[in-house]
Amino acid sequence: MKYCTKCGNERLDDAVICTRCGCAVYEKRQIYPGYVPPKARCVRILGLLSLILVYPLGILAIVFAILSREDSGGKMCSQAAWGMAFGITALCLWGINMWILS
């Protein structure tokens, strides 16, 4: 059994409110400096992977799309257009990911 932190009344372990005073009861969690929750750790790892994989591929796709346009007299072939769209989308998603992580 646990006790209410406000009135000292005995309460059940899974109680949400005190039956005597009506105040919300909760467990105080101790937070350690430098502790990163597992979900945040997973997001950081995904952010790092996107930095390593997506960012360079996005830049390469844009560069190759621009180069193919110059080689073909100003007209971009469909593969180059898809590469350009992929590159821009990848860089936007990477930027959003970095914004969320900051």
pLDDT tens sequence across 13-68: 777 888 888 888 766 655 667 766 677 777 777 777 777 877 787 788 888 888 88
The model carries a pTM of 0.44
83 with 40, same domain?
yes
Cβ proximity of 68 and 77 under 8 Å:
yes
43 with 26, same domain?
no
pLDDT tens-digit map of 64-89: 888 887 777 777 777 778 877 887 88
- Residue numbers of the domain that contains 22: 1-30
67 with 89, same domain?
yes
41 with 91, same domain?
yes
Q: How many separate domains does the chain show?
A: 2
**Backbone phi, then psi, for 21, in 5-degree steps?**
-105, -15
Alpha helices, DSSP H only, in 10-77? Answer: 38-49, 55-71
65 with 17, same domain?
no
